[in-house]
Amino acid sequence: MRILGVEGTAWAASAAVHDTETESTFIETDAYQPDSGGIHPREAAEHMGDAIPAVIETALDEADGPIDAVAFSRGPGLGPCLRIVGTAARSLAQTLDVPLVGVNHMVAHLEIGRQRSGFDSPVCLNASGANAHVLGYRNGRYRVLGETMDTGVGNAIDKFTRHVGWTHPGGPKVEAAAKEGEYVDLPYVVKGMDFSFSGIMSAAKAASDDGTPVEDVCRGLEENVFAMLTEVAERALSLTDRDELVLGGGVGQNERLRSMLAEMCEQRGADFFAPEPRFLRDNAGMVAVLGAEMLRAGDTLAVGESAVDPDFRPDQVSVTWRDDADGTADDPDRADATPDAEEEVTGAEATVTVGTERVVKRRLPKSYRHPELDERLRRDRTVLEARLTSDARRAGVPTPVVYDVDPVEGVIEFERVGDADLRDGLTADRVRDVGRHLAAMHAAGLVHGDPTTRNVRVDGDLTYLIDFGLGYYTDDVEDYAMDLHVFDQSLAGTADDADRLRTAFEAAYAEGEAAAGGIGTADVTVLDQLREVEGRGRYQ
The CATH number of the domain holding residue 398 is 3.30.200.20
Residue 540 has a pLDDT of 39
Residue 36 has a pLDDT of 61
Residue 37 has a pLDDT of 60
Task: List, by residue number, the catalytic residues.
Answer: 450
**Number of separate domains in the chain:** 4
Q: Clarify whether residues 214 and 302 are in a common domain.
A: no
Does residue 337 belong to any structural domain of this protein?
A: no
Does residue 406 belong to any structural domain of this protein?
A: yes
Q: Which helix (H) or strand (E) holds 31?
A: strand 24-31
The answer to whether 445 and 415 have CB atoms below 8 angstroms apart is no
Residues of the chain with pLDDT under 70: 35-38, 324-341, 536-540
Q: What is d(CA 69, CA 63) in angstroms, rounded to the nearest whole number?
A: 13
Q: Clarify whether residues 136 and 272 are in a common domain.
A: yes
Does residue 125 belong to any structural domain of this protein?
A: yes
CB pairs under 8 A, 24+ apart, for 401-406?
403/358, 406/382
The answer to whether 155 and 512 have CB atoms below 8 angstroms apart is no
Does residue 200 belong to any structural domain of this protein?
A: yes
* Residue that finishes a domain, picked among 415, 445, 476: 415
Closest CA to 196 of 149, 129, 235: 149
Does residue 333 belong to any structural domain of this protein?
A: no
Angle between helices 477-494 and 498-515 in degrees, nearest 10 = 160
Closest CA to 445 of 498, 376, 375, 392: 392
Does residue 62 belong to any structural domain of this protein?
A: yes
Residue 131 has a pLDDT of 82
Give the tens place of pLDDT for each residue, 29-38.
998 877 666 6
Q: Clarify whether residues 217 and 263 are in a common domain.
A: yes
Does residue 335 belong to any structural domain of this protein?
A: no
Question: pTM value?
Answer: 0.91
Does residue 326 belong to any structural domain of this protein?
A: no
Residue 349 has a pLDDT of 86
Give the tens place of pLDDT for each residue, 481-494.
999 999 999 999 99
Residue 97 has a pLDDT of 95
Q: What is d(CA 196, CA 132) in angstroms, rounded to the nearest whole number?
A: 10
